[in-house]
Amino acid sequence: MKSKTKGIIAGVAGIALLTGGSTFALWSAQDSIAGGTIVNGDLNVVADAALSWTDASAPRGDAGHTIDLATWRMVPGDVAKGTQTVDVTLVGDNLAARLDLASVAPSALNGLVLGYEVFAEGDTTTPVASGAYGAPATLRFAANATSQEASAPSTIVVGADGTTTLTVVVTATFTDTGAGQARNNVTASTALGNVGVSLTQVRTGAGFSS
């Protein structure tokens, strides 16, 4: 009996070794889920380095010709216009932004009246902003996407390529009425400060939809 029992125990131990110590195996399988690629949008603003000036004085037949401020001399009744383009880029499905124009009026105008107008791309007749030089301007933009509120009247929606171009026109009019020996503001110089342009993302208000 003892010998028989030892044989049974030895047989069970052998089976255990063959089965890895278990009487059955669990199935398993593997696969993977593609992570995908997340692409960020873009927000940028680029302005030309300097204003391009023209002589808009009347009644000159060639009004609008290009001038060089280094050599051009202004007299009462003259009008000069400086033009600069500003390129705005907005790419994003939930992207709206505020663009701010900031300038500082000269401490002494020397007989000049200074103003500015901002025109949207494709429209040179109706400004989207205007004011006296030194007064700030704020415009709202939205990316070209189905989630944007394109119908918001105060919002400029960029083109399908994600960009749009603004045109900033600065007008200087010499209104000095000095005559004879008074000769107000003769040989005076008026230096215009830079026009700062900044673009800031916003998450609320016109042109943004959650």
| The pLDDT value given to residue 196 | 94
CATH domain 42-202 topology: Immunoglobulin-like (2.60.40)
Give pLDDT tens digits for 93-102.
Answer: 888 999 999 9
Phi, psi of 96 (to 5 degrees): -130, 155
Give pLDDT tens digits for 115-161.
Answer: 999 999 999 899 999 999 999 999 999 888 765 655 566 789 899 99
Give pLDDT tens digits for 156-192.
Answer: 989 999 999 999 999 999 986 655 555 678 889 999 9
Q: What is the mean pLDDT of the chain?
A: 85
The tokens of 119 are what?
Answer: 């025109």
Residue whose pair of structure tokens reads 């030089």 in the numeric block: 133
